[in-house]
Amino acid sequence: MSGTQHTQHIDPRGPQFAASLTTAVLAAVLLLAPSPVGIALLAAQAVFFLIGALLGAQRTPWGVLFKRFVRPRLAPPTHWEDARPPRFAQGVGLAFAVVALTGYAAGAPAVGAVATGFALAAALLNAAFGLCLGCELYLTVKKLTARVSTPEPEPART
Amino acid sequence: MTTGAWVLLIAVVAAVAFGLWRAARDGRFRGTHKVAGALDEGEVSAKAGGRQIPVWEGIELGERATLLQFSSAFCAPCRATRVVLAEVASGLPGVVHQEIDAEHHLDLVRRVGVSRTPTTLILGPDGAELTRAVGAPRKALVLESLNALGIT
């Protein structure tokens, strides 16, 4: 880890467990969506994403649920994960949820559904394959946005 | 079916297909990548077999091979990769494991064509890329590739 100062580590199965619940919620949203129940579920999930983006994935209700009820029943994790990538991914989820909510609110349910679909696909990939698209997006975004070439004095770490 | 149900179906099928495809390719050594664009003017470059080789400035290359790993802080499999590659390197004389923080070397990342972390390049003694793996490679696969390259 490049910044070892206060790096928090979490059980990697936590975000994966949360992602499976997120997948279920978003599936329900897609099936119910233009109805108030669907919108309310989407809004609730958006709030969860917001909590995750601000405080970390382990602080969302899904994360707390995992810590209280699921983890005590599991064997200790074989490795720990940096808390920052899942937190970043929660922010990506939040972005999709906000676009989806805006779409539904603006009377464009197709936009809402597609944005929800992207968030669902990402959550499902995390839940089923342990693959974090939001985390991988980070380098891509950096590559596209960082125009100024960075000085490279200390290239290698051993 | 409603729009939402269609989107749900497509999203699930696409995610599963992508996940399986990714799982099948992840961490396998295959091919190399042409060094993108011309090398910067004034940059020293070596020629080997007519191929231009970027000079890995400041990176100490192994006598026989270098396992060059691109990592980022936002990357859980990078740590597993680090362990595997360090283990392989420590078991083979002349083979060195080096790690580059992709985030802080975006020029190099663009030029070498690294799209996600971890990406591992196997370099020859002259710094030429012999093969690469995107995703966390298993130890057996690293050894297999080195073997195929005649390095073990």
Which chain B residue shows the shortest CA-CA distance from A89?
B74
Q: Which pLDDT tens digit goes with each residue over B18-47?
A: 999 988 888 898 877 655 444 443 344 444
| Best-predicted range by mean pLDDT (A34-48, B49-63, B72-86, B112-126) | A34-48
> What number is the average pLDDT over the span B50-64?
73
Closest CB to A109: pick one of B3, B56, B107: B3
- Say what the pLDDT of residue B33 is: 66
Confirm whether the ipTM is greater than 0.85. no
Q: Read out DSSP for A38-91? A: HHHHHHHHHHHHHHHHHH-GGGSHHHHHIIIIIGGGSPPPSS-EESHHHHHHHH
Q: Which pLDDT tens digit goes with each residue over A84-137?
A: 878 888 999 999 999 999 999 999 999 999 999 999 999 999 999 988 887 777
Residue ranges of B 8-27 with Cβ closer than 8 A to chain A? 8, 10-12, 14-16, 18-19, 22-23
Q: Which pLDDT tens digit goes with each residue over A52-69?
A: 999 988 899 999 999 999
Q: Which of A24, A27, A29, A15 is nearest to A129 (CA)?
A: A15
- Say what the pLDDT of residue A3 is: 41
Closest CB to A155: pick one of B14, B15, B57: B57
**A–B: how many Cβ contacts below 8 A?**
132
> What number is the average pLDDT over the span B102-109?
86
Provide the 3-class DSSP secondary structure of residue B54.
Answer: coil
Q: Please name the residues in contact with B17: beta carbons below 8 A apart, sequence gap of 6 or more.
A: none
d(CA B29, CA B134): 8
Residue ranges of B 19-78 with Cβ closer than 8 A to chain A? 19, 22-23, 56-60, 72-76
- Mean pLDDT lowest among A11-20, A98-107, B88-97: A11-20
Cα→Cα distances A95→B18, B71, B75, B142, Å: 22, 25, 21, 38
- Say what the pLDDT of residue B17 is: 96
Tell me which chain A residues have a C-beta less than 8 angstroms from the C-beta of B115: 139-140
Confidence at B52, pLDDT banded by 50, 70, 90: low
- Say what the pLDDT of residue A147 is: 59
Give B142 to chain A, closest Cα distance, Å.
Answer: 18
- Say what the pLDDT of residue A115 is: 97
Confidence at B143, pLDDT banded by 50, 70, 90: very high
Residue ranges of B 111-130 with Cβ closer than 8 A to chain A? 114-117
Residue type at B15?
Answer: A
